[in-house]
Structures are given as structure tokens and as C-alpha cells.
Amino acid sequence: MSTEMEHNNKTAFFMGIKHGVPIAMGYFAVAFTLGIVAKKAGVTALQSMIVSATNSASAGEYVGFTLIGVNAAYLELAVMTLVANARYILLSCALSQKFSDKMRTIHRFLLGWFITDEIFGISVSVPGKLNPFYTYGAAAISIPAWSIGTYLGVVMGNLLPENVVSALSVGLYGMFIAIIIPPAKKDKIIACLVVISMLVSYLSSRLPAVAKVSSGTRIILITVIISSVAAILFPVKDDKKEAA
């Protein structure tokens, strides 16, 4: 049994690495631009790499570097970073539904540490229960790419033309599309919810009263409202109850 479990963990780990390759490529490009922001804020290449390795949050790091650049107070830095990263609380709660009841606590802590928007996207899309080693594999290749990209962005980011850096970051949006299209094609309800979410997100960024709210807070509100309404109107049947 132990040998079989080790084999399953190894298979899941390398599958996570395989699926994490496009994430790593997108992260490297985006982190490059983040490194330029860090350099303007007076953060060294090594410091920026450590920040990326321990945070793995583009919006949170951007806010942090920007506030460091204007010599903001520690309390302001902490509060703004919390607001920018608050969506990860929702992602963690959603991903926990994919955990087996037998999953050890240490795995739950590690998975919470490694959650990013993209790693969450591929982890929550895994059929059945999530093997934590799948997420470890995705993190093993994507987070180093994020950290190294930030480092190189500080060292040599200004040497590249702005349009080249912008073009590289487009790959990350392509990856988002690759995550949502397959489930949307299989389920018309999911497809409709995706379209509604995009429309609501766009409108929220244009309406004067709502646009003043930070993007992170808007994402949280939209996610909670739409997912709650969808859960009430279109509940997902429990496979165990169906089998009974």
C-alpha cells in the first residue's frame, strides 16, 4: 500500500510540474515587470527575489513595493497588503472542498502557502479529490520562475523595450483562458456564469461608485455574490448521496 501511495504521489507531482510549465512561463514574464517596480522603489535584486519566493502574490507585492517606494508606514503596508491578498482566503476555502478527509494537517498548511490564482485554477480543476503532490509539482516549477523573474527584472528589466515586456505578459492571460474554457464547454451553467462574471467585473470597473473600491475587494465581492447565487440556484449534487 505504501509503495502504491508513493507511486501515486510521484505521478501527481510530475503531472503538476507538466501543467505548471505554462504558469511558470507567464510568471517569469509578469515578475520581470514587477522587478522593475521593485528597482524603482529602491529594493535590491536579492531582496525582491526573497519577497517573491515568500509571498508569490503579484498584486500584494506590487502594492508593497509601491508603498516602500513612498516610505509608507509599516501599518499602512500591512493593511494594504492584506486587502490586496484577501482573495486568497476565498481561494483557500474553495480548494479545501477538494481535500480528502484523511489529508494530513501539514499538507493543508503547505497547500495554503502555495496557493496563487493560477495554481488554484489548475488544482481545483483536478477530477475527484486533490492529491497535494500535484499542487506541490506546480509550485515547484512556477514559484522559482516567479522569484527568478523578479530578480532579473531588477537586474536587467530596464534594458528591454516596454512593448516586449508587455507582450511577454500576454501569455498569462492565455493561460487563464485555457483554465476556464474546458469546464465551460462541458457545462452550460458554468459557461453562463463565466460570461456573467466577466460582464459584472467590467461594469464594476466602470461604474463611478464601485470603481473607487480596490480591485481586490471588487473581486472578492463579485466572487462571493455570484458563487452564492449560483450555489443556491444550481446546487451540485453530492456523488455519495447519488450512489446511496
Q: Model confidence over 183-193: pLDDT tens digits?
A: 788 888 888 98
CA distance 22 to 118: 10
Residues comprising the chain, all counted: 244
Using CA atoms, how far apart are residues 182 and 177, in angstroms rounded to an integer?
Answer: 9
Regarding pTM above 0.75, the answer is: no
Given a cut of 60, whether residue 171 has pLDDT beyond it is no
Query: What's the number of CA atoms in the CB half-sphere (13 Å) around residue 214?
Result: 15
pLDDT tens digits for range 71-94: 888 888 888 788 778 888 888 888
Q: Any idea of the CA torsion for 34, 36, 39, 41, to the nearest 10 degrees?
A: -70
For residue 241, the SS3 value is helix
Q: How far apart are CA 36 and CA 26, in angstroms?
A: 16
- The model's confidence at residue 240, banded by pLDDT at 50, 70 and 90, is very low
As given in the structure block, the three cell numbers for residue 173 are 492571460
Residue 242 has pLDDT above 50, yes or no: no
pLDDT beyond 70 at 3: no
**What is the per-residue pLDDT for 144?**
95
Q: Longest C-alpha distance within the chain, in Å?
A: 63
Band of pLDDT at residue 4, cut at 50, 70 and 90: low
Higher pLDDT, 63 or 219: 63
* Helices and strands (DSSP H and E) totals, the chain: 13, 0
Domains in the chain: boundaries: 2-172, 187-244
- What digits encode the pLDDT tens for the residues 123-157? 988 888 999 999 999 999 999 999 999 999 898 86
Average pLDDT, the chain: 83
The pLDDT tens digits of the residues spanning 26-73 come to 888 888 888 888 888 889 999 999 999 998 888 788 888 988 888 888
Spatial distance between the Cα atoms of 11 and 17, rounded to a whole number of angstroms: 10
